[in-house]
Chains A and B, each alone.
Chain A
Amino acid sequence: MSDQASLGETMIAAIARTIEDGTAAFHGFGSPLVQLALHVAKRTHAPDLVLVAGATYGINPNPPFLAPTSNDWVMDRGSEAALDIEELFDLAAAGRMDRMFLSGLQIDKWGSCNVTRLGANELKLKLPGGGGGCNLSCDVGAMTLWTAAHRAPANDQGKRRYRLVEKCDFITNLGHRTLDGRRPAELGHHGGGPDSLVTDLGVFDFDADGHMRLTSLYPDTSVDDVMENTQFEPKLADDIATIPLPDPEIVALIRRLDPMRIHERELQPGDRKRGFG
């Protein structure tokens, strides 16, 4: 790999930047980009991060390599303690889990995610389900959303299956609005909702109203790319920045943590060749 950083590595670094030192953060299963982002954060700017691993619920593990599945003793290696399933979710319900990472086959403009089903009325596609996301989305301090499939190419009929949609068919994980337009705070939820979204096309935050807003782009993507591949019109930050490329030390760290490049399985096949620098 001659580039300074691949798309995957740049996304991992972007997700890592949403993690603050001295906080507790938890990743779910099936999310290698996020797993690596947590390990990068812990080993760089956030040494006092309480890193809770998904599926094993190990705390501060030091896996020798990233496994293709989260519930593997590999992923638990070096953990200094472990939580029970009830303890993990109790922590979130009691307001002691600062950040969680969620995604979906549909993500709407308020940051709600659908991982349950396509088809609002008739079931068109049964998705695997949300794990603990439904509960956690209401409870955790803040959420980083991510997807490596923002790009939604048109098919032969010119139709696109958008990942970033106007409205989810089903809300599994709650963002800043319910399907009928209520805010989570009106329902008494304690969670702060999503504050960032990292995709293969750009990085977003959420404005004071809770609406998704584009803040930065990759060296090879444009506002037009984002608009074309998004079903709704995202807000635009006053100054759209370029997503910083990870330092060579961080790239080297990612390559050491994930020698099998498991995280690239999250990327679209065409994106595995994208690199910058």
Chain B
Amino acid sequence: MTDKPINGNGSDWPGAPVHTAENKRADVEALIGHVENGNVVAVGGGLSSREPMAIIRALIRKGVKDLNVVGSAHGIDIDLLCAGGAVSESSESYVGFEQDFGMAPNYRRACESGDVKVNDSCCYTVVQQLRATIMGLPFMPVRSIRGTSVFDMHPEYKTMTCPYTGEELTLVPAVQPDVAIIHAQYGDAHGNLRIEGPPVADILFAKASKKVIASVEEIVSNERLQELGGPNIPYFYVTALAEVPMGAHPTACYPFYAYDREHTKNYYDQAKQGAETFKSGYLDPFVLGCAGHEAYLEQIGGEDTARHLGSWKDGDEAWMSLYGGASA
């Protein structure tokens, strides 16, 4: 890590373009054309929800390399990118499968082999770094971090004496991702996005990034989007979007479908057995061997799986049975 902020206070400071095109509709292949090797990438969603998995699988198929991923709490998305050889640096706050499965095997292997530079962050640090960019400032102060090993890991963090109170504060540099990759429930052709449920850091990512590429479950009219409650990411942040039903699978995208824990368990079991087993048991059949998202949907069981994961709506018992039921 150099002393320079991650792509923050660079020559094109300040700011990013506004994306004004009237029709942003694209397909997944066109979306991923916006991601270049070496980019700083903010992956939206969090843990087991609304991860932009269809876009991630497409990036791996394309052979994208050397991404620096930034964000808060992640799981299968970053783990899969690591397995696909797409990441060279991780500035995430967490990559794992919570207490359910535990550590993220591919991410761990990539970090421990040195393929991925470990540059762990922390949620509020990420928030402040994004807010700096959003506000057009080169840094933001925080009181925390000093005294932890996280501070020592980041030579780009500085301290200053507050000119008003005399207290020492930590400064964290602005982070401006090259691309934010987001999966939302709804969007319109202009690029307005509506996220339902917890937005995690997606709105901050959208405002701070130079480009936003998005997959959505449904592209609807702006009128319909207003009826649904209106966008929470305005169109001019968004570069392009594609309609990709089940585009977050195996993570959840409520109300359309719940988390596919069974698929994730299989993923984890394969990954835990080593890189070779994971390649033949998961990466080949579900990513590299699928020509595109349609082929992936076939591979996971098509309509039947979509219907099964949509059955959470049938009541608490049905919902719980997706996670093994009361006898699990």
A149 to chain B: closest CB distance in Å?
A: 11
With both beta carbons as reference points, the residue of chain A lying nearest to B131 in the complex is identified as A86
B204 to chain A: closest CB distance in Å?
A: 7
Instruction: Check B9 for interface membership: any CB of A closer than 8 A.
Output: no
Interface string of A14-42 (1 = CB under 8 A from B): 00000000000000011110000000000
Quick one: which of B164-202 are within 8 Å of A by CB?
167-169, 197-201
Q: From A126-134, A211-219, A268-276, give the one contacting chain B.
A: A126-134
Note all chain B residues with C-beta closer than 8 A to A132. Answer: 72, 93, 122-124
Q: From A186-194, A202-210, A226-234, give the one contacting chain B.
A: A186-194
Give the residue of B93, B131, B143, B320 whose beta carbon is less than 8 angstroms from that of A188.
B143
Taking a contact as CB atoms under 8 Å apart, the answer to whether B120 and A130 are in contact is: yes
Taking a contact as CB atoms under 8 Å apart, the answer to whether A76 and B197 are in contact is: yes
Quick one: which of B238-256 are within 8 Å of A by CB?
252, 254-255
Taking a contact as CB atoms under 8 Å apart, the answer to whether B103 and A127 are in contact is: yes
Quick one: which of B77-119 are within 8 Å of A by CB?
92-96, 98-100, 103-104, 107-108, 111-112, 118
Q: From B42-50, B221-229, B270-278, B280-288, give the one contacting chain A.
A: B42-50
Note all chain B residues with C-beta closer than 8 A to A135. Answer: 122-125, 142, 144-145
Give the residue of A32, A131, A174 whose beta carbon is less than 8 angstroms from that of B94.
A131
Number of A-B contacts (CB under 8 A): 196
| Known contacts A70-B47, A123-B112, A126-B107; A178 and B147 CB within 8 A of each other | yes
| Known contacts A55-B73, A134-B150, A260-B323; A265 and B100 CB within 8 A of each other | yes
Note all chain B residues with C-beta closer than 8 A to A261. Answer: 328
Q: Which of A64, A71, A82, A86 has the most CB of B within 10 A?
A: A71
Instruction: Check B203 for interface membership: any CB of A closer than 8 A.
Output: yes
Taking a contact as CB atoms under 8 Å apart, the answer to whether A71 and B204 are in contact is: no
- Chain A facing B: main interface SS: loop
Instruction: Check A60 for interface membership: any CB of B closer than 8 A.
Output: no
Instruction: Check B324 for interface membership: any CB of A closer than 8 A.
Output: yes
Taking a contact as CB atoms under 8 Å apart, the answer to whether A259 and B144 are in contact is: no
With both beta carbons as reference points, the residue of chain B lying nearest to A190 in the complex is identified as B143
| Known contacts A32-B99, A172-B150; A71 and B48 CB within 8 A of each other | yes
Give the residue of B124, B258, B259 whose beta carbon is less than 8 angstroms from that of A93.
B124
Instruction: Check B325 for interface membership: any CB of A closer than 8 A.
Output: yes
**Assembly CA distance A72 to B199 (angstroms):** 12
Instruction: Check B149 for interface membership: any CB of A closer than 8 A.
Output: yes
Give the residue of A86, A117, A138, A265 whose beta carbon is less than 8 angstroms from that of B145.
A138
Give the residue of B46, B96, B112, B316 whose beta carbon is less than 8 angstroms from that of A125.
B112
Instruction: Check A139 for interface membership: any CB of B closer than 8 A.
Output: yes
Note all chain B residues with C-beta closer than 8 A to A187. Answer: 146-147, 168
Interface string of A81-103 (1 = CB under 8 A from B): 01011100100110000000000
Give the residue of A32, A65, A128 whose beta carbon is less than 8 angstroms from that of B96.
A128
Note all chain A residues with C-beta closer than 8 A to B267. Answer: none
Note all chain B residues with C-beta closer than 8 A to A159. Answer: none
Interface string of B66-80 (1 = CB under 8 A from A): 000000110000000
15 extra interface residue pairs, beta carbon distance < 8 Å, beyond A135-B122, A259-B320: A56-B198, A58-B198, A70-B98, A84-B199, A116-B120, A125-B108, A126-B118, A129-B92, A131-B122, A132-B72, A136-B124, A139-B143, A171-B149, A172-B149, A266-B99
Which residues of A are interface residues toward B (Cβ below 8 A)?
A: 29-32, 55-58, 64-65, 67-74, 76, 82, 84-86, 89, 92-93, 114, 116-117, 123-139, 168, 170-174, 178-179, 182, 184, 187-190, 259-262, 265-266
Query: When A and B form their complex, which 9 residue pairs have the shortest distance between CB atoms, in order from nearest?
Result: A128-B96, A30-B98, A132-B123, A138-B144, A135-B124, A126-B111, A89-B124, A134-B122, A71-B47
